[in-house]
A and B are shown apart, each in its own frame.
Chain A
Amino acid sequence: MVRTSTAQRWFIVFNYIFLIVLGLSMILPILHVLAQSFSSNAAINSGKVYLWPVDLTLTNYKAVIGEKLIWRSFGVSVIVTVVGTFINLAMTSSLAYPLSRSEYVYRKPVLIMVLLTLIFTAPLIPNYLLVRGLGLHDTLWSLMIPGAISAFNLFVMRSFFMGLPNELIDASRIDGCGEMRILWNIILPLSKPVMATLGIFYSVGHWNSYANALYFINDRMLYPLQVRLREFIITDSSSINVPAEDALMSSPEGIKMAVVIIATIPIMIVYPFLQKYFTKGMMVGSVKS
Chain B
Amino acid sequence: MKSSVITFPGSNCDRDMHVALNKFGFKNKMVWHDDNELPKSDLVVLPGGFSYGDYLRCGSMASKSKIMQSVINFAKSGGLVMGICNGFQILVETGLVPGVLLRNKYLEFICKNVYVKIDNKENLYFKNLDKNVFEFHIAHNEGNYFCTKDQLKEIDDNNQVAIFYCNNQGKTVEQYNPNGSIKNIAGIFNKRKNVLGMMPHPERMIDKSLSGEDGSIFFKNLINNLK
Report if A and B associate in a common complex.
Answer: no
